[in-house]
Structure 1
Amino acid sequence: MPSAAERTRTLVQSTCSAVLLIPGMDGPRPETPAPQPRVVGVDGEVFLIHPVDSPAVRAATHAQDDELSAVLEITDVAPVSVPHRIRGRAWVSGWLTCVPGLAEAGSMMLRLEVGELYVDDLWGATAVEPDDFARAAADPLVAHEAELLQHLHSAHGEQLQELCGLLGDRVEGTGAGRQRAVPLALDRFGLRVRFVGRNCFDARFDFPEPVRDVTELRRAMHTLFEAAAH
């Protein structure tokens, strides 16, 4: 399974919605764009781009090191329609400063020096050490996951449904064969499917070995579907 540090880094570097919360400031309006892009530096710091006239930039402009605390709150929502669509949340707290001269005109780069991290997702809830976060790598499928899940959902419904046959006795009494299979999450280690019906439960299907890119993923999915068909 992916480590907590890897899962957190994947969320930070994903396109999941995020808000930057600064104590003492009014929270952003729901329609406020998430800070994008989000980039993680070599020491684990998180770089964000905000408009120069945003409250966050105004506050950080006058802040000294370790003076302005902030929390980056990330919410991960499944890209397909499924009950309980929120797949996870992550919180990255630390200290915010400006990095002038690196963003395009009208924008400012902000640096969030990480102090604490916490992730609560489909794997569980746990704190993450900043050093582990700095050393971790985002999942190689993160940039394609939403598109891949949507494709599986729209074009491979019958093959997904057949996966319940691989669960054996674990689905006894759940009626998995009569439930709708929805692809919920995808990473280099495997596919998570949510079976939706009278009962709702998740099943994880691991790949024979971790995949490194979309090409290897296609082969892994083909192997998985062939095993379910037989």
Structure 2
Amino acid sequence: MTSTSTHPATASTRTPASRPAAPSNRTRRGTRFLLGALAVAGPLWATVSLVQAATRDGFDLTRHPLSLLSTGSLGWLQITNFVLAGILLVAGATGLRRAVTSRWAPRLVRVSGLGMIAAGLLVMDPADGYPIGTPPGMPPAMSWHSIGHMVAGSITFTALIAACYVLARHFAVLAGHSGTAGARRTAVAAALSGTALLAGDIWAMTGAPAGSLTLAAGAITAMCFLTVAAIRTRP
């Protein structure tokens, strides 16, 4: 009698423990909100940057990097743009951690966000004729904050490139399991976005013509891919 009376109780206590708890509506809403922040980061950063590039006197995107917009009397606009985009990336990384099985993709997105915040706070030196009145060419010596900006930017771009490739693998595995064309296309878009930023960064580092333009195109492509990733993974 003892064994028959305890056996059902044992089974009943094990059954719930063996099933993963479904996320609550509150958790789901929180994840959607955080992924919404990630979705906004890229388009917002790109729009604010490109509008300034098109309207600032003396700024030439084929010669001047977007970071140079942080200098001059209106530099606070681009500083704020960098910091806000970084905050949105950091918040979005938390949502991504809840939505994907990859451990490294959210970490890399968070690192890129922290790097972007640092790049916004550490301002480049005026250079190559911008702002208007600045001598042509690069300054003879770089300030500590300009060096810090370069380091922070390198960390941001490296983490962002890696995040795109890691997400490419994530969506490729998802496509293999589900067989959906959407996941397969997203995997290809992730790989292409990471490659666009990598190529743009290398082109700019070599000092080739229009290097700042190719770097901007690559950065915008990679940032905006995170919008696609956020939308694809929203619960």
Structure 2-normalised TM-score? 0.27
Structure with more of its chain in strand, by fraction: 1
**Larger relative contact order (C-alpha < 8 A, sep ≥ 6)?**
2
Structure with more of its chain in helix, by fraction: 2
Name which one, 1 or 2, has greater alpha-carbon Rg: 2
Structure 1-normalised TM-score? 0.27
